[in-house]
């Protein structure tokens, strides 16, 4: 049984409470299935894209969409993009060009 640790004290809070009734969990920490795919850290390059520049371009890849396939295909960032080695090895079929095809991205 869910332990109630806070109580709604006014009508607005009670309305929010009612909205949450029957709500199921929608996010899960890494560790449950699907398990972290093998091969996510192939080499020692932590911080490769930590950009040291003080001026433009100050971010990492410009734009981030241009790095999407690189991040996904070899499973660099499996929490943020489809992991291309285990669970979504053919996601590029629907999205070969991310800037054009991103609306076709369908993965959980």
Partner 1 sequence: MRWQPLLFVGLAAILCAGGAAAGERFYYLGYEIIQVIDGDTDAIVADIPITGASREVALSADRKFLYVATNRHLVHTVDLTQNRVVATIDLSNDGWDRVMFGFVLDPDGKTAYGGFMSRRTAGGEVVIGGPVVAQFELETGRFLRSVEVPWGVAHLVSVKGGTTLYAFAQDLYKIDTTGRELKIAETVPMFDRMMNILPFWDYAFDNGGVASMNYYTPEFMGLMLVDQKTGEISEIPLKGDPVMAYSVVLSPDRKLAYAVMDELTVIDLVEKTYLESMPIAEGTCYAVNVSGDGKKIYAGGGGSTLTVYDSKTLKALKVLQMASDGMDIRRVSF
Q: By CB under 8 A, name the binding residues for partner 1.
A: 38-39, 41-45, 48-49, 51-53, 56-57, 61-63, 65-70, 73-74, 84-85, 89-90, 92-93, 96-100
Minimum distance between the CB of residue 59 and partner 1, rounded to whole angstroms? 8
Options 67, 74, 83, 101, the catalytic residue: 67
Minimum distance between the CB of residue 14 and partner 1, rounded to whole angstroms? 48
What is the SS3 assignment for the chain?
CCCCCCCCCCHHHHHHHHHCCCCCCCCCCECECCCCCCCCCCCCCCCCCCCCCCCCCCCCCCCHHHHHHHHHHCCCCCCCCCCCCCCCCCHHHCCCCHHHHHHHCCCC
Residue 67 annotated to the active site: yes
Comparison of 17 and 97: residue with beta carbon closer to partner 1? 97
Q: Which residues are catalytic?
A: 67
């Amino acid at each position: 049984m869910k332990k109630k640790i806070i109580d709604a004290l006014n009508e607005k809070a009670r309305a929010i409470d009612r909205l949450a009734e029957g709500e199921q969990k929608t996010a899960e920490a890494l560790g449950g299935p699907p398990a972290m795919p093998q091969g996510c850290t192939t080499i020692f390059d932590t911080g490769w894209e930590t950009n040291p520049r003080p001026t433009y371009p100050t971010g990492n890849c410009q734009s981030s969409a241009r790095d999407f396939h690189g991040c996904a295909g070899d499973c660099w960032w499996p929490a943020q993009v489809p992991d291309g080695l285990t669970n979504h090895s053919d996601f590029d079929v629907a999205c070969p060009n991310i800037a054009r095809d991103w609306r076709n991205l369908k993965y959980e």
